[in-house]
Structure 1
């Protein structure tokens, strides 16, 4: 069959995807060799993020661009691969990747390209927190971050919790309230800006290398170029594509949870093969039944997550042509993926720890507990039931409230 420009492009895209996944596996293998030691130390991931940058993963995990960027399915596959070896770094990549989409979510596709190309060129690591419209955090007595207008921009003040890379990020994406207009704006703040202070969290139960903490903004000058766009005040005024921002992050974190479950199973199996965990012979029926149940739970969660991932990928590829009803349908799939993954990760990591008390196995349980603590499966299941019975979309966004 003669080669056409379309088939040549498809072949090169397929080869690039395979190469990126091979790189992710190599990075995961590297991280796995000292995962226990790094978890015990709990230090900020300066060396680890340098590994990610050197491998090209930070530049690759950006929205699709001419000649670069990763489609949603490929990006999530990379996140899951790394999370299987080190879920803290998986979470760093998950939040990095979704924050890299922020200019499209809030500024629109046409004005996003220059910023995205600069991010790839500089290999920025993204972090931050943009809260969903109508979340409980909007009703706590006033905004935690405020913008005061200047002639050419704003001054940003306040403090905001950040889940990853608080001391090593290059750019923070944050929402803040203008004190004059009341508008909620999404802004990009370079981490080295004067007045930006990082406060890392200490002695976390799990995800200890994710570098959670808070950022303090003390009279930080924000230029108009750093304003990505408006964050809608409520769900009714949210554009369809913007409505994907919050479920996209939740879905990326599902891949981290899935990586934790799969990593725990792999490590327990390999430790048993090396006889470091005392256990009955390999044909012990009860043991085979247990591992069969755990492997099935992981595969079931993977199937649900993959379905949501495919739906999200199609929605993201639609861009501004996205059907207004599509975000709600995608959100239901994401909520289902969250509920199933949360239960599977907690169950698998608990049972693995019961099967053999080997050094380091506890980190999977601790990481799963920390990752899912603010996203209880019960809340998600109630939201899914509310949507199914009553057709209410808003229950999804408020399920964590």
Structure 2
């Protein structure tokens, strides 16, 4: 097997290996603390969280889900989820950047050969980041693939354009989907600096503004045949969907927690009580207290279902994975995703209501919470989560298998 282009960290600043849940949580808190300080300015001016992202990788967080046999931390899904939740409470754009990195690690665990796992996981453990070439921009839906991986005399060449390529601009290895000469969907791994691979920084979303989720153009990019993985059949049991969705839900839960905490702080420090409340401080308004209490209960409920979902994934023995427990994993994660979506939107809107008119001033940047929540929760609509959950419990119908369920 040929080597994937590896760019190791300088010897004076190597990527660490995290061996325990406690280490991972402390590392995530350190990244979050670094990210929080300039979060408002970065969002306003679209400044990328490069320093915090480098700390994420150097600290070893990028390899916590890589099995220990390959040199990684081999930590639980629950810890992975908590890492994303903690970081996203400070800056959900930073939280979203490595989301596909972890989803691709799961794809390799599910579908990669031992040689592929060894090559790519070794790069990840050294500190390299995986970034996705997302779906095509103008197709009927996200699963329609138009990019082509064709066999030429000198090897495989990949051509096409991708959008929603979150993490690609900051990655060392790019991964994307294409159709091969037989019309089969495959995942191709290639070095970020491959000739013919162009990343266009054209993401203009109202929220998640610093994820750089823009366009990738692929112009006859050379692909190593040893680094091509068939996309699994739709009926094959897999944890790829539940793991990807768990992380998405963790990002939303982080947005909700960040909005709630900053909303409470704004009430205490900056807001004025309503004229009829008869109190000196807005935080003493009984109606406001009750509203905060209601939102807090919904937040804790969402976080509880999220932890339950992660624990469900941890309880599944990969050797015993079948259609039934893979489906149950998707359903349990979907239940959490419904609540994290709803509370992210609710908390990010309520903080503006609680703070009053001055909460809308640009200097505070509180609107970023709602913009981030609204943008990120569009990733996969919860109306289809409700459908899958209801059909499962009512009719015993297993959900479809893909990365969005």
TM range, normalised to the smaller chain? Answer: 0.7 to 0.9
Superposed CA deviations along residues 341-383 of structure 1, whole A, max 9, x for unmatched, are 1111111111112111151111110000000113222221122
Counterpart for residue 266 of structure 1: 261
Counterpart for residue 353 of structure 2: 354
CA distance in 2, matches of 1:139, 1:39: 30
CA distance in 1, matches of 2:202, 2:302: 31
2:231 equivalent to 1:231: yes
Superposed CA deviations along residues 90-117 of structure 1, whole A, max 9, x for unmatched, are 1113222222222212214575234212
1:371 to 371, 376, 391: 376
Counting matched residue pairs gives: 371
2:326 equivalent to 1:286: no
**In the alignment, is the contact (CA less than 8 A) between 2:93 and 2:210 conserved in 1?**
yes
CA distance in 1, matches of 2:354, 2:242: 35
2:251 to 239, 250, 256: 256
Alignment root-mean-square deviation, CA = 2.5
Compared with structure 1, are the counterparts of its residues 203 and 324 closer, same or farther at alpha carbon in structure 2 (3 Å cutoff)? closer
Compared with structure 1, are the counterparts of its residues 211 and 16 closer, same or farther at alpha carbon in structure 2 (3 Å cutoff)? same
Displacement of 1:163: 4.1
**What TM-score results when the alignment is normalised by the length of structure 2?**
0.84
Q: Give unmatched runs, 5+ long, in structure 1.
A: 1-12
Displacement of 1:395: 4.9
Counterpart for residue 197 of structure 2: 196
2:270 equivalent to 1:276: yes
Compared with structure 1, are the counterparts of its residues 138 and 98 closer, same or farther at alpha carbon in structure 2 (3 Å cutoff)? closer
**In the alignment, is the contact (CA less than 8 A) between 2:267 and 2:282 conserved in 1?**
no
CA distance in 2, matches of 1:139, 1:215: 17
Superposed CA deviations along residues 148-168 of structure 1, whole A, max 9, x for unmatched, are 013574110001123422322
Superposed CA deviations along residues 231-278 of structure 1, whole A, max 9, x for unmatched, are 13x423x2x2xx2112211111100000000011111122333x2222
Displacement of 1:285: 1.2
1:16-27 equivalence runs, <5 A: 16-27=20-31
Q: Give unmatched runs, 5+ long, in structure 2.
A: 1-16, 274-280
Q: Secondary structure at 1:219's aligned position in 2?
A: strand
Q: Secondary structure at 1:63's aligned position in 2?
A: coil
2:56 equivalent to 1:52: yes
Stretch of structure 1 that moved more, 88-97 or 143-152: 143-152
**In the alignment, is the contact (CA less than 8 A) between 1:386 and 1:395 conserved in 2?**
no
Q: Secondary structure at 2:97's aligned position in 1?
A: helix
Counterpart for residue 131 of structure 2: 127
**What TM-score results when the alignment is normalised by the length of structure 1?**
0.85
